[in-house]
Amino acid sequence: MIRRSPLRPLASLPLILLVAFGLRLGFAWNYQRLAPRQALRVIPFLFESGNIAYSLATGHGFASPFHVDTGPTAWTTPVYPLLLGGIMRLFGPYTFASYIAAVLLNILFSTLVCVPLYFAARRIGGVRLAAAACWLWAVFPNAILLTYQSLWETSLAAFLGATILWATLRVAETRSRRAWCGYGLLWGLALMTNAVLLALLPFLLWWMVGPAASRRAVQPALPLLALAAAILCCVPWTVRNYVVFHSFVPLRSILGLQLWVGNNPDAKVIWLGGQHPIHDSAERRHYIEVGEIAYMREKENAALRYMVAHPRHEAELIGGRFVSFWAGGSAAPVQDFLRSRSAWFRYVLIFNIAVAIGTVLGIARLGRARNLYLFPVAVFPLVLPWAYYLTLSLPRYRHPIDPVLMLLACATVVGGHTVPSGHGIDASNSEI
């Protein structure tokens, strides 16, 4: 007989979803109430994703990331600009209704993170871990603020990151061709949304066909099927880029500029927007003059030369970006905490630092427990951030792995055990 706990209602996924949605909606409503509507109609869209969306909505194609006519672009992968462009076509370019629709879409994605996060955490450590991770995500300030403060793919990428983790754990235990093909399609959607997630793919596939498969026979065709499905999702975009630019651009073209603005004689740990075509008119003119691909190659070569020639400055930049990445955007968290008079800023800073510490301790605890799922969970914080240590570190860049960080931070307190294969559903009945 299963003993009931008075805390059991707190493990209700619908309740957690309701609270998460309500918090995000409440903060967004308060934000729009205090900000001028004229500003909200325009300013949140005046970044690369919004500018490309405007170009799409006005019939000029996937182009012009700087709100001036610069021609076709591969600045970012297409999914989120297409979603924003669809919103603009429905509600009009630069309207308050378009802003509200875009924010509501972000809120929906951010809330739905709880679903794959719950089932992934339950498989890793049972219901208590699942409920704790989802509650932490529900109140996570970054997840709330990023739904309405900027219109990027951030919330969608967090949802896809959590879904990838859950699907990896689930598909690793099946030999269904349909499941593996679906896994590949999920990856295709993720890569067309946030190309940096590609860093995780080889590690997770290796685990699925290596350590996770040690208890059963795996047909070599299955991972190849998933990989083929993921590649096929990217082929139309890659072909489009080749036709437009006469150059091989499989996902996006931005790496060269990202390297340069983060690694040059004037580079600082906290990037303030300099030397970027969206802010710098001279850089924008040069970008238009030579074209996107030549511009990116030029910046990449200059950045790599500087990185090799100035190892001391590079070490300082990489170390500072490491701190900034895990402190939620602060390169000097102790000094910023002491200087700031804002209780909200201090709360957000402490929350991010606590999650970072919890991530390390959570990995250690799962390791001591010899948890079967340690590797795929640990890959997220150990591998993906390197793309940003070496380029730029902005708070939204961490968001695709933030749900996994919530899981690991909760594992520090709640613990985690390996739920036996085939008993994921039974785990939902364990005591809270």
Domain boundaries of the chain, sorted by first residue: 8-429
Helical (H) or strand (E) element with 259: helix 255-262
- What pLDDT does residue 5 have? 58
For residues 44-73, give the mean pLDDT.
Answer: 94
- Higher pLDDT: 424 or 237? It is 237
3-state secondary structure at position 397: helix
pLDDT in tens, 360-383: 999 999 999 999 899 999 999 999
Predicted structure pTM score: 0.92
150: pLDDT strictly greater than 60: yes
> How many whole angstroms separate alpha carbon 124 and alpha carbon 168?
12
> Alpha-carbon distance 199 to 79, whole Å?
19
Does the structure show a pLDDT above 50 at 427? no
Please measure the distance between the N-terminal and C-terminal CA atoms of the chain and give it in whole angstroms: 15
At 72 the three-state DSSP class reads strand
What percent of the chain is modeled with pLDDT above 90?
Answer: 81
**Both tokens assigned to 422:** 């085939």
- Quote the distance between the C-alpha of residue 419 and its chain's center: 27
| Position 218 confidence tier, pLDDT thresholds 50, 70, 90 | low
Burial of 257 (0-12, 13-18, 19+ CB in 10 A): buried
**pLDDT at position 213:** 58
Q: Which range has highest mean pLDDT (72-76, 267-271, 280-284)?
A: 72-76
Lowest mean pLDDT among 176-185, 264-273, 394-403: 264-273
- For the cut 50, the answer to whether the pLDDT of residue 125 exceeds it is yes
Residue 335, pLDDT above cutoff 50: yes
The yes-or-no verdict on residue 429 having pLDDT over 50 is: no
Residue 230 pLDDT > 90: yes
Burial label for 376, CB within 10 Å (0-12, 13-18, 19+), is: buried
Cβ distance 362 to 412 under 8 Å? yes
Percentage with pLDDT > 70 across the chain: 92
The whole-angstrom distance between residue 389's C-alpha and the CA centroid of its chain comes to 15
- Gap between the Cα atoms of 292 and 283, Å rounded: 12
**Cα 119 to Cα 110: distance, rounded to the nearest angstrom:** 16
pLDDT of residue 1: 40
d(CA 324, CA 341): 20
